[in-house]
Structure 1
Amino acid sequence: MKRLAPLLATVGLVATSLPLLTAPQAAAAPTPAHMRQKPDWHRCSPDQPAAYECATLKVPLDYQHPEGRMLDLAISRIKSENPGKRRGVLLFNPGGPGTPALHRPLALDAQMPKDVRDQYDLIGFDPRGVGRSSPITCGPLSREEEGVGGAYRPETFASDVAWARAIADKCREKSGDVIPYITTRNTARDLDVIRAALGERKISYLGYSYGTYLGAVYSQMFPQRADRFVLDSGVDPQRIWRGMIQVWATEAEPAFARWTRWAAERSEHYGLGATPEEVSATFWRLVERADRDPIVDNGQKYTGDDLRADPSLFFSPYGASAAIRYLKSLAETGRPPAGGEAQALNPLRTGPRAGGANASAAPGAWAPGPAEASDAEGGATPVYWSVVCGDTDSWPRDPEQYARDAARDKVKYPVYGDFASNIKPCAFWQRPVEAPTPMKTRADVLTVQNEWDPITPLASGQGLHKALRGSRMVLALNGEKHGVYLSDPASCADATVNAYLGTGRLPAADVTCQDPPRFP
């Protein structure tokens, strides 16, 4: 629930024969201790540059009871080398939820243009619950338990329910006293503690993927503290969080159709069909065949569900064509195609295709950095579910609702619909401690989006832009990656982002630009 601001009584003036006096104001509430702390900076590591500094702050577990238990919050910085041009601080979140970012200023420092870089101290942090910020655990999780859910089949649904319940039970047993407070709203409050500790009136911010939602929530909770905010690869606030998993399914369908057209135009090379319909039929025959007789490559078996388990594959027509051509040859001849490269299957190999009976990892999830280790060391999975399940009470609690939805969506969205709507641990999670953040306050932020982003698809990015009144959007047509700014030297969006971070002036209108095709 929302915190209630203290009400200040209005003291009237009393008419007397004495000169008129101003009534005394009610004493201001003392600033809480967690908003008065100062970081004790030190070199992060002897193996890293001396300019890369780290510190640890203390933040309340429960901001409704700030005098209670505290959590560590690990922060880092690389200061501007040009104090005369310094404007303030730029905080960074790469996504997740559950991705540590203490080390990320090192990459930003190397990638940002100097005229923009000079204006900011770059600030990284490990969000609460992960990395060096009081990591939570769900105990050792199996490979299956690290996924986000599997394909729906009536005969295996009981196993899917058991998988979801087991994760929720493990997390509750190991970290149940902390998990209810690992939420986006509390992480936004942590950002404001960082702001205060740095002695800044406002913060600027660069957030990718989940980081866009965190930035949007901060802009609503602390609108007077938000300076220049860039939200790249947007999460639609209206879809949190079940809808953000389901959008992978709805948007995989137009991506699949685009791929079939692309592959058909290059049928002489890929041999998947001369028309989009033929390419589609080739894929679905391969799925059916692999379900009957899994395709084997270097000892790794691929079922039909495995071929559907990462819909992000189809957002890259070249990658999808190479992978399906490779699998088709293996299925038909037992050998790779002539000239086929083993890395063609990398999109299907990366990340465990696990969780439930027929499961997948989060499609195209951010590649882990050096701080993202196993769950025992404060990995991403416990924080992922804590946020996704704990931000909102919109998850169904009846397992049969998931079965009905998954059966329906397997027909409506055949590539990934049943994966997206199948049961998740949220069905058995603890109830949220507060409601999601309404997007009602004007937010003059810059949203950035690739047309064919596979993880936060265009529909999601447009939803974020629509939700934030006053925002502007930069759309990169032909863009296929998850993440726009600084992710591709050829991106047409970087110039607009650099101009905004450098001047604070939003474009007068939304900007649409065109990236060059990634492959001919």
Structure 2
Amino acid sequence: MQRRPLVPLLAVSVMAALAPALAAAPATASPSARSTPASAAADADPLRPYARQKPVWGKCGVGTPAALRCATLKVPLDYRDPGGKKIDIAISRLKTSAPGKRHGVLLSNPGGPGGPGLEMPLELERQLPRQVKGRYDLIGFDPRGVGRSTPVQCGLSPEENVLLRPLRTFDKNVALARSVADKCRAKAGDKLPHITTRNTARDMDVLRAALGERKISYYGVSYGTALGAVYTQLFPRRADRFVLDSAIDPKLMWRGMFRIWAPEAERAFQRWTKWTAARDATYRLGDTPAEVGKSFWALVARADRDPIVIDGVPLDGAGVREQVRPNLFTVRDAARQVVRLKEAAGGRAKAQDLPEPPPEPDVSATVSVVCGDSSWPRDPETYRRDSIRDADRYPLYGDFASGVLPCAFWDRPVEPATEVNNTVPALIVQNEWDSQTPLVTAQALHGQMKGSRMVTVDEGEGHGVYGTNPCADFAANSYLATGKLPAADVTCRATPGERRATSSLPAPGPLG
């Protein structure tokens, strides 16, 4: 890509793309800003110093490959007050090995909200084919409030470090949610209103400008799709080649994204019972869907009477439901898990040689984004009523999905939720059976991004498509390499219950 002179480009692009962020409404690029005389632009653009930063690249840390370089940028805590408090944004870069073929930069986000992304370029370098990664400098970053980017840390106890809980402990859930909100306010009250998806998108545009790029390309998975979609809405002229993998519906951010897990789990449960009944000789859970369903609910009832111990962890009925729900979308995994629960309930469970599970990620930054992006009901009784109703409608997970979160006790968001409605080109890739971001949410985003194309993996299982299906990979790689979207939406094929390739791309956070 032919790079234009750095300073003149930044002086114009930042005024055009970032200055509207000073208003409470989301920022958009303003064509009229380009006609402003240079002297007036300097006076009118308080964000210009941020855009003119020159990253100082150095080692990322002990054990990190030398090729991955890190730097720190300053951004406003509050874009309505650019001259006020500043925060750090940690960024990383893996430069292309083929500078003569370089098209630009490929930013990335691994999911969350609350997932760190500094090492994402290393993961992409392993996944991307040569003809794609040679076209880009791969750029990672820790979103504001996460990792090395002025982290939000509320000092939560292990009991508080959980988002979704069952109805039976509702009064305790309310107390814990209030405690989390109070702790976060006490520890990070000045930051909380500004740890949002919109501001992270604005940080991405400061990063773009500081790198001297007219546009950015982007790969985002799960929550990263929401971040990418919001960026295209705020800065449509700065978006180049965007691949959104396992997509969130911006209109459901965020309570709706949790609540949609309940009806989708019921659909997955019905599919799973049919698949498992057809394989009764293997799993012995019943030779009809109804019998398989009875086997599962008998385990739930058994666990409520006497917890089932798996790997030293006792599970009551709610614990069984919570653990099984995401696996239902991958039918073979769920069948094996339920068989193991049944064996454990009968005292026949075999010892498992399992790796030490990673510690639970701190949900402080996750809660900050989820509560800061949009308004939530303030009355705890709203959550109680919804949980009771949804537990009846969707017995597998309805009470979890509609439960009370700290957002009920959070301060009101400082901005309205971002409405995504644009014609920016993008490629959305989605498995049909995704436990975290269901197919319907990707279809909704596709409708809101009218310039997008969608690749659906029919009967595809698992969260995160890239690196797991050759057909979907071909579409994504072709787009990243050439900038040409498919002429129409694409349907790829998968076989339910097949062993799928495991993507090495991380997907932390409740939504992945």
- TM-score, normalised with respect to structure 2: 0.87
Report the Cα distance in structure 2 between the residues aligned to 1:421 and 1:171, rounded to whole angstroms: 22
Task: Structure 2: state its 5+ residue gaps.
Answer: 1-23, 500-512
The AA in structure 2 aligned to 1:321 is A
Change (3 A) 1:138 1:9: closer
Report the Cα distance in structure 1 between the residues aligned to 2:436 and 2:310, rounded to whole angstroms: 27
**Is the contact made by 1:3 and 1:64 (CA closer than 8 Å) also made in structure 2?**
no
The equivalent position to 2:458 in structure 1, one of 477, 481, 485, is: 477
Report the Cα distance in structure 1 between the residues aligned to 2:105 and 2:331, rounded to whole angstroms: 39
2:344 match = 330
Q: Indicate yes or no: 2:331 matched with 1:317.
A: yes
Q: Cα RMSD between the aligned structures?
A: 2.4
Deviation larger for 299-308 or 178-187: 299-308
1:402 match = 383
2:504 match = none
The AA in structure 1 aligned to 2:257 is M
The equivalent position to 2:487 in structure 1, one of 488, 508, 512, is: 508
Q: Indicate yes or no: 2:91 matched with 1:75.
A: yes
The equivalent position to 1:385 in structure 2, one of 345, 367, 374, is: 367
**Is the contact made by 1:205 and 1:228 (CA closer than 8 Å) also made in structure 2?**
yes
The equivalent position to 2:407 in structure 1, one of 426, 432, 443, is: 426
Deviation sequence 1:377-410 (CA, Å, 0-9, x none): xx641110011111001x1111001000000000
Change (3 A) 1:63 1:329: same
**Counterpart secondary structure, 1:146:** coil
The AA in structure 2 aligned to 1:326 is R
Report the Cα distance in structure 2 between the residues aligned to 1:170 and 1:73, rounded to whole angstroms: 24
Which protein shows a greater Rg? 1
The equivalent position to 2:476 in structure 1, one of 473, 497, 502, is: 497
**Counterpart secondary structure, 1:326:** helix
Deviation of the 1:6 alpha carbon: 12
Report the Cα distance in structure 1 between the residues aligned to 2:329 and 2:159, rounded to whole angstroms: 25
**Is the contact made by 2:331 and 2:497 (CA closer than 8 Å) also made in structure 1?**
no
Change (3 A) 1:267 1:60: same
Indicate the percent of aligned positions where both proteins have the same amino acid.
55
Report the Cα distance in structure 2 between the residues aligned to 1:253 and 1:24, rounded to whole angstroms: 60
The AA in structure 2 aligned to 1:214 is L
The equivalent position to 1:261 in structure 2, one of 252, 264, 274, is: 274
Change (3 A) 1:467 1:380: farther
The AA in structure 1 aligned to 2:344 is L
Deviation larger for 190-199 or 464-473: 464-473
**Is the contact made by 1:484 and 1:491 (CA closer than 8 Å) also made in structure 2?**
no
**Counterpart secondary structure, 1:57:** strand
**Counterpart secondary structure, 1:34:** helix
Q: Indicate yes or no: 2:241 matched with 1:231.
A: no
**Counterpart secondary structure, 1:136:** coil
State the number of aligned residues: 470
Change (3 A) 1:396 1:516: same
Q: Please show how residues 72-111 of structure 1 align to structure 2 within 5 Å.
A: 72-111=88-127
Change (3 A) 1:304 1:507: same
Deviation of the 1:297 alpha carbon: 3.5
The equivalent position to 1:114 in structure 2, one of 130, 138, 141, is: 130
Report the Cα distance in structure 2 between the residues aligned to 1:257 and 1:6, rounded to whole angstroms: 47
Q: Please show how residues 130-209 of structure 1 align to structure 2 within 5 Å.
A: 130-139=146-155, 141-153=156-168, 156-209=169-222
**Counterpart secondary structure, 1:478:** strand
Deviation larger for 286-295 or 226-235: 286-295
Task: Structure 1: state its 5+ residue gaps.
Answer: 11-22, 351-367
**Is the contact made by 1:97 and 1:380 (CA closer than 8 Å) also made in structure 2?**
no
The AA in structure 2 aligned to 1:34 is Y
Change (3 A) 1:341 1:270: farther
Change (3 A) 1:444 1:3: closer
Deviation sequence 1:188-242 (CA, Å, 0-9, x none): 0000010001000000000000000000000000000000000000000111100
The equivalent position to 1:51 in structure 2, one of 67, 70, 78, is: 67
**Is the contact made by 2:28 and 2:233 (CA closer than 8 Å) also made in structure 1?**
no
Change (3 A) 1:415 1:34: same
Change (3 A) 1:445 1:293: same
Deviation of the 1:63 alpha carbon: 0.4
1:129 match = 145
Deviation of the 1:7 alpha carbon: 11
**Is the contact made by 2:466 and 2:473 (CA closer than 8 Å) also made in structure 1?**
yes
